[in-house]
């Protein structure tokens, strides 16, 4: 009779037509394949050896099963032989042990996998078929095609004699894992096949089974059928080590190996195979203001890391820096922080003080070189660290000398031995204990025509380095030639961290303020200016410039006679009339050119002083700057967007602000929100300056704890006050913003074209709009632009006596840089003058500055990297008084002494 083959349970078959129903397991459900396309005929062999028929709703097949099948079976055999003893069977037992590799062909051919077939009677040759089932997490199967006939044949000729499959036979049972011979279910083979054609199983729980089939493709029943179970738990483990101290410049800390990591294959006993991964980094600020900086998850340009079984692979900075995309902004994603607010002047990421953790995780590479699933847990592989790099103020003398006479113009010390010098150690701004510093102490002579800052360039008369404590006793008996009576000296001390790798930053590079003293009461006089420039300086609010302007104007009109002017007032008057900003260096320059004034208390207003003659700029440089100045007067969309972005950050941050600063910040945000629509009318330079202060404010808020200490609160108050002053809608021109009377528009520039052809200008003298012609006689009291172009000029003295200033010094272009800042901003925010407006720095440079703001200027010697003394320059003076007497004389200028 012809045989009919019906599948059941996916791999088992019911054979009809030989007189024997094979593999009649009492508890198995048998499924006939030839029912309806979506239905099946189910048989159950229950206790009592009865054949039960159910679950077939298709009428033709229901009739076949219930009527014809019993007759057909009975015609083929008189009785059903359902006993196990009458069936030819082969026991199949498969074991799977460690180590397991996800490359399945390697694993199947290894000694970890064994498979044995034991026939209960002599059998003809059989063909072996393998199947791998993923049980979890996502079920799928891979099996050899049942129609495959190749090297997978074995002999079962001896009854009850086990046949153990050789490695090549186990591979043959899977067609040597040739994808063309395999039948996958629930998975695409290409998704787990690498570039070399090797199938690599994903992590999960698996079974591996081998079945035997006869020459008719029928499964030979297996009373004992055992599958091997194995687990693939590969991937890598990352261990991150932090070696304190970690500096705020995090890229530098990684480059210096302050952060290290190792990677090893997880569960190496089962995963003894090489793998390639790519590394991803993440930095989390845990407190005081949480934020995250991490590599973009889609970034794929970091080099792959090859991990071998066995010893952990130690990662270096060459591996860790690319895990952050080398800290390039476009490669990073952030939460809770604006990356621009945590960058220094060199555009490097500088983390604020706080508690952090740094983590690394790995991702697989696909055969196409694309990023795959995570190979390690993203929440592990972390190390914690603290950043407390601000040591606060530099050391300051508390007892620079003994027997101090505070009533003298300069401190006078009576000769004694020893002289006691004491100073404060740097104090940590984030709770670190004071200490861990050594000190370099120095004394230099202060010559005539020099201020204390000049003395730093003089030779040492005494120097002591690596002092262990903030106290030094100078034994003048042992050091008799150090100090001489009647001479002046400058002292300075520098704090140096005892740990060369310490990230702690001290203000002013660790240098104290320079203190001066006179040793003994008998002053030794020198040729030159007998007084210090400080003796002539008058604070802005105390000057009477407007009054003396009027006196001089009346004198020139012959309505008033010559008048005596105090020398201090005359210097301020003469400088501002010459378009020179009033500062200590300008006073010193003026006195050096007119030394006779130092001997006078008053001078006639008709006095004609000798004024400095500064070098002129090359025509091309001047033209280039004029073009840029014109651009600077216009609004800038980039700066406007940055302002709005900072303001949004400040608005979103209000809930996290320390309690004792909440009202202050709330008032500020309310004010800034009220004027944000007017930012688009303000020039680029001014909005950039506002953004700089906003960035500093956000930086301070993020580094602050729950409650601000007094120093932090004062710093925050200073920044808030600066922002309010810069953005107040004021008619008195103390800010960038002000409203035209009768109008709702505001602009930094006070110059507006008028339909009549005249110019409409706002006068800072009477705060009223004036309609003036464009002639010079009508411009005197009006300010055309509040954003003024300034010449910044540096000069130096000769080394000979009497000292004469050099005003045209081309060599200065190679040795000095000029910087400026607002008083409330830290040094790392200070911009370099001319950084954007000139191709070279000469002894005269140009810069566009808002004229109603006080700036601090100083220079940096690029040869010895020393700063000059910071000079406060109040530009309102120049704005209010320049060119009133001689209009169009020259642009306003700021003079600075560099040596």
Q: Residue 409, exposed/middle/buried by CB under 10 A (0-12, 13-18, 19+)?
A: exposed
List Cα–Cα distances, 23 to 7, 51, 90, 657, in angstroms. Answer: 12, 14, 11, 77
pTM, rounded to two decimals = 0.41
Q: Is the peptide bond before 802 cis (omega within 30 degrees of 0)?
A: yes
pLDDT digits (tens, 9 = 90+) for 488-522: 888 999 988 876 656 667 778 788 888 888 887 64
- pLDDT class of 880 with cuts at 50, 70, 90: low
With beta carbons less than 8 A apart as the criterion, state whether 362 and 305 touch: yes
pLDDT mean over 684-708: 80
Give the pLDDT of residue 729: 57
> Parallel, antiparallel, or unpaired: how do β-strands 602-604 and 371-374 relate?
unpaired
587 vs 789, higher pLDDT: 587
Determine the pLDDT at residue 770: 36
297 DSSP β-pair partners: none
User: Mean pLDDT throughout 716-733?
Assistant: 71
Residue 782 has pLDDT above 70, yes or no: no
Which pLDDT tens digit goes with each residue over 186-205? 999 998 988 778 898 887 88
For residue 101, pLDDT over 50 is answered with yes
pLDDT of 735 strictly over 70: no
Residue 852 confidence class, pLDDT cut points 50, 70, 90: low
What is the SS3 assignment for 597? Answer: helix
| 175 backbone φψ class: left, alpha, beta (φ>0; ψ -120 to 50) | left
Q: How confident is the model at residue 98 (pLDDT cuts 50, 70, 90)?
A: confident
Question: Which stretch, 257-261, 554-558, 628-632, has highest mean pLDDT?
Answer: 257-261
Q: Which residues contact 500 (CB under 8 A, 6 or more apart)?
A: none
Q: Would you call 483 exposed, middle or buried from its count of C-beta atoms within 10 A (0-12, 13-18, 19+)?
A: buried
Answer for the pair 769, 762: CB distance below 8 angstroms, yes or no.
yes
Integer Cα distance of 715 and 700 in angstroms: 8
**pLDDT score of 213:** 94
Residues in the chain: 899
Tell the burial category of 865 from Cβ atoms under 10 Å away from its Cβ (0-12, 13-18, 19+). exposed
177 phi/psi in degrees, rounded to 5: 60, 35
Annotate 748-770 with DSSP letters as a single string.
S---EE-TTSSEEEE-TTT--EE
SS3 364: strand
Residue of 618, 600, 658, 646 whose CA lies nearest to 845? 618
In angstroms, the CA 765 to CA 777 distance is: 16
User: Kindly report the CA angle at 699 between 694 and 705, in degrees rounded to 5?
Assistant: 130
Average pLDDT over residues 624-638: 82
pLDDT number for residue 267: 73
Res 774 pLDDT > 80: no
What are the structure tokens assigned to 305, written together? 């890391």
Are 453 and 514 a contacting pair, CB within 8 Å? yes
Quickly state the pLDDT bin for 433 (edges 50, 70, 90): low
C-alpha to C-alpha distance for 465 and 869, rounded to whole angstroms = 23
The whole-angstrom separation of Cα 769 and Cα 336 is: 46
The 10 Å Cβ neighbour count of residue 343 is 16
Cα radius of gyration rounded to whole Å, the chain:
45
pLDDT at 664: 86
Q: Which residue has the higher pLDDT, 775 or 717?
A: 717
What average pLDDT does this structure show over 293-304?
A: 94
Residue 80: both structure tokens together? 């059903």
Range 649-678 average pLDDT: 83
Reference 437, options 491, 512, 515; nearest CA is 512
pLDDT exceeds 60 at position 881 = yes
Confidence bin at 809 (pLDDT 50/70/90):
low
> What is the distance between the alpha carbons of residues 802 and 773, in angstroms, rounded to a whole number?
49
Cβ proximity of 491 and 397 under 8 Å: yes
Dist. CA 406–CA 824, nearest whole Å: 29
Does residue 465 have a pLDDT over 80? yes
656 vs 467, more confident: 467
Instruction: Quickly state the pLDDT bin for 419 (edges 50, 70, 90).
Output: confident
Starting at the edge strand that comes first in sequence, how are the strands of the sheet with 163-164 ordered?
163-164, 113-119, 90-96, 225-226
The predicted pLDDT at position 488 comes to 86
Which of 80-84, 311-315, 712-716 ranks highest by mean pLDDT?
311-315
Q: Which of 54-58, 845-849, 885-889 has the highest mean pLDDT?
A: 845-849
- For 133-185, give the DSSP string: EEEESS-EEEEE-TT--STTEE---STT--EEPPHHHHHHTTGGG-GGGEEEE
The confidence band for 173, taking pLDDT boundaries of 50, 70 and 90, is very high
Confidence of residue 720 (pLDDT cuts 50, 70, 90): confident
CA distance 742 to 804: 54
Q: What is the pLDDT of residue 677?
A: 83
**Secondary element (H or E) of residue 602:** strand 602-604
Tokens standing for residue 815: 């040795």
pLDDT at 364 over 70: yes
b/e map of 268-307 (b: 16 or more CB within 10 Å)?
bebbbbebebbbbbbbbbeebbebebbbeeebeebeebeb
For 634, the 3-state DSSP assignment is coil
DSSP code for 862: T
The residue among 808 and 668 whose pLDDT is bigger is: 668
Higher pLDDT, 794 or 64: 794
Interatomic CA distance for residues 528 and 621, integer angstroms? 37
pLDDT at 60 exceeding the cut of 90: no
- In the numeric block, the tokens 């925010």 are attached to 829
In this prediction, residue 269 carries a pLDDT of 65
Supply the DSSP string of 201-220, one letter for each residue: PPSEEEEEEEEEE-TTSPBP
Judge whether residue 741 has pLDDT over 70.
Answer: no
Q: State the distance between the two ends of the chain, measured CA to CA, in whole angstroms.
A: 118
pLDDT tier for residue 418 given thresholds of 50, 70 and 90: confident
pLDDT for the residue 802: 53
Residues 532 and 409: their CA atoms lie apart, in Å, by 9
Would you say 254 and 283 are in contact if contact means Cβ atoms under 8 Å apart? no
Higher-confidence residue of 326 and 488: namely 326
Phi, psi torsion values for 654, nearest 5 degrees: -60, -30
Greater pLDDT, 597 or 32: 597
Q: Mean of the per-residue pLDDT values for the chain?
A: 74
pLDDT the model gives residue 286: 93
- In the predicted model, is pLDDT for residue 606 greater than 90? no
Is the Cβ–Cβ distance between 475 and 418 less than 8 Å? yes
Structure tokens at 765: 């003298």
pLDDT at 833: 55
pLDDT of residue 235: 83
pLDDT tens digit string along 107-140?
A: 899 888 999 999 998 888 999 999 999 987 789 9
Distance CA 446, CA 490 (A): 6
Q: Inter-axis angle of helices 710-727 and 684-702, to 10 degrees?
A: 160
Q: How confident is the model at residue 803 (pLDDT cuts 50, 70, 90)?
A: low
Do the beta carbons of residue 607 and residue 577 sit within 8 Å?
no
Query: E-assigned strands of 328-477?
Result: 332-335, 354-365, 371-374, 382-387, 397-399, 404-405, 411-413, 419-423, 437-446, 460-467, 471-474
The mean per-residue pLDDT over the stretch 528-545 comes to 72
The 3 state secondary structure assigned to 47-98 is CCCCEEEECCCCHHHHHHHHHHHHHHHHHHCCCCCCCHHHCCCEEEEEEECC
Mean pLDDT of 607-616: 79
Is a pLDDT exceeding 80 seen at residue 157? Answer: yes
Q: What average pLDDT does the segment 577-591 reach?
A: 85
């Amino acid at each position: 009779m012809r045989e009919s083959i019906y599948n059941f349970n996916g791999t088992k078959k019911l054979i009809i037509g030989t007189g024997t129903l094979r593999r009649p397991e009492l508890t198995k459900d048998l499924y006939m394949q030839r029912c309806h396309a979506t239905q099946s005929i189910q048989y159950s062999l229950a206790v009592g050896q009865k054949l039960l028929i159910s679950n077939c709703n298709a009428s033709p097949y229901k009739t076949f099963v219930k009527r014809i099948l019993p007759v057909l079976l009975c015609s083929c055999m008189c009785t059903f032989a359902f006993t196990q003893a009458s069936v030819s069977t082969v026991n199949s037992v498969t074991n799977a042990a460690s180590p397991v590799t996800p490359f399945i062909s390697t694993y199947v051919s290894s000694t970890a996998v064994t498979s044995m077939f034991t026939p209960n009677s002599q059998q003809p040759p059989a063909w072996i078929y393998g199947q791998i089932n993923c049980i979890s997490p996502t079920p799928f199967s891979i099996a050899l095609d049942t129609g495959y006939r190749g090297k997978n044949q074995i002999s079962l000729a001896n009854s009850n004699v086990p046949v153990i499959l050789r490695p090549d036979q186990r591979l043959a049972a899977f067609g040597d894992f040739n994808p063309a011979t395999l039948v996958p279910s629930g998975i695409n083979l290409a998704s787990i096949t690498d570039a070399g054609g090797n199938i690599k199983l994903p992590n999960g729980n698996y079974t591996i089974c081998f079945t035997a089939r006869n020459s008719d493709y029928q499964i030979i029943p297996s009373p004992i059928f055992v599958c091997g179970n194995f687990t693939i738990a590969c991937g890598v483990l990352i261990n991150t080590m932090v070696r304190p101290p970690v500096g705020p410049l995090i890229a530098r800390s990684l480059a210096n190996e302050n952060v290290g990591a190792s990677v090893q294959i997880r569960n190496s006993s089962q995963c003894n195979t090489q793998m390639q991964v790519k590394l991803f980094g993440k930095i989390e600020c845990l407190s005081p203001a949480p934020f995250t900086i991490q590599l973009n998850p889609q970034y794929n340009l970091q080099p792959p890391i090859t991990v071998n079984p066995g010893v952990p692979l130690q990662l270096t900075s060459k591996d860790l820096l690319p895990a952050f995309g080398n800290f390039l902004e476009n490669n990073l994603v952030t939460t809770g922080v604006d990356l621009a607010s945590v960058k220094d002047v060199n555009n490097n990421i500088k983390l604020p003080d706080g508690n952090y953790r740094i983590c690394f995780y790995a991702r697989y590479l696909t055969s196409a070189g694309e990023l795959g699933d995570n190979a390690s847990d993203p929440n592990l592989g972390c190390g914690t660290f603290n950043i407390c790099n601000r040591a606060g103020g530099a050391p300051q003398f508390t007892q620079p000398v003994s027997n101090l006479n505070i009533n003298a113009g300069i401190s006078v010390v009576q000769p004694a031995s020893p002289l006691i010098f004491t100073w404060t150690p740097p104090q940590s701004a984030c709770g670190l204990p004071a200490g861990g510093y050594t000190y370099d102490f120095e004394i230099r002579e202060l010559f005539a025509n020099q201020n204390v800052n000049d003395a730093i360039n003089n030779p040492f008369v005494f120097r002591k380095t690596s002092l262990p404590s903030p106290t030094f006793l100078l034994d003048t008996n042992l050091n008799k030639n150090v100090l001489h009576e009647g001479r002046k000296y400058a002292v300075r001390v520098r704090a140096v961290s005892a740990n060369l790798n310490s990230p702690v930053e001290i203000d002013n590079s660790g240098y104290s303020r320079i203190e001066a003293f006179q040793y003994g009461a008998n002053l030794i006089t020198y040729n030159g200016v007998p007084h210090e420039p400080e003796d002539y300086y008058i604070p802005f609010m105390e000057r009477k410039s407007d009054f003396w302007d009027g006196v001089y104007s009346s004198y020139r009109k012959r309505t008033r006679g010559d008048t005596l002017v105090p020398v201090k007032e005359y210097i301020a008057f003469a400088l501002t009339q010459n378009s020179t900003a009033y500062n200590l260096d300008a006073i010193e320059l003026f006195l050096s050119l007119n030394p006779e004034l130092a001997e006078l208390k008053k001078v006639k207003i008709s006095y004609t002083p000798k004024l400095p003659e500064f070098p002129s700029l090359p025509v091309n440089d001047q033209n280039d700057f004029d073009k840029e100045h014109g651009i600077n007067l216009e609004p800038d969309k980039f700066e406007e967007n940055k302002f709005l972005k900072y303001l949004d950050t400040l608005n979103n941050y209000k809930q996290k602000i320390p309690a004792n600063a909440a009202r202050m910040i709330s008032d500020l945000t309310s004010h800034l929100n009220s004027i944000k629509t007017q930012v688009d009318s303000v020039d680029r330079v001014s909005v950039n300056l506002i953004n700089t202060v906003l960035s500093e404010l956000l930086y301070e808020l993020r580094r602050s704890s729950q409650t601000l200490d007094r120093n932090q609160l004062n710093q925050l108050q200073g920044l808030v006050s600066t922002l309010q002053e810069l953005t107040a809608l004021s008619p008195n021109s103390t800010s960038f913003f002000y409203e035209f009377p009768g109008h709702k528009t505001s602009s930094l520039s006070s110059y507006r074209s008028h339909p009549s052809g005249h110019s409409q200008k706002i006068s800072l003298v009477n705060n009223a709009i004036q309609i003036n012609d464009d002639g010079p006689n009508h411009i005197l009291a009006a300010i055309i632009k509040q954003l003024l172009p300034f010449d910044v000029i540096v000069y130096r003295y000769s080394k000979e006596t009497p000292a004469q200033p050099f005003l045209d010094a081309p060599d200065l272009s190679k040795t000095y840089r000029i910087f400026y800042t607002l008083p409330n901003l830290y040094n790392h925010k200070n911009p370099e003058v001319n950084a954007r407006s000139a191709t070279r720095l000469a002894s005269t440079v140009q810069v566009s500055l808002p004229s109603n703001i006080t700036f601090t200027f100083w220079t940096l010697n690029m040869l010895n990297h020393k700063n000059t003394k910071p000079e406060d320059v109040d530009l309102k003076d120049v704005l209010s008084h320049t060119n009133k007497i001689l209009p169009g004389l020259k642009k306003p200028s700021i003079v600075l002494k560099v040596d």
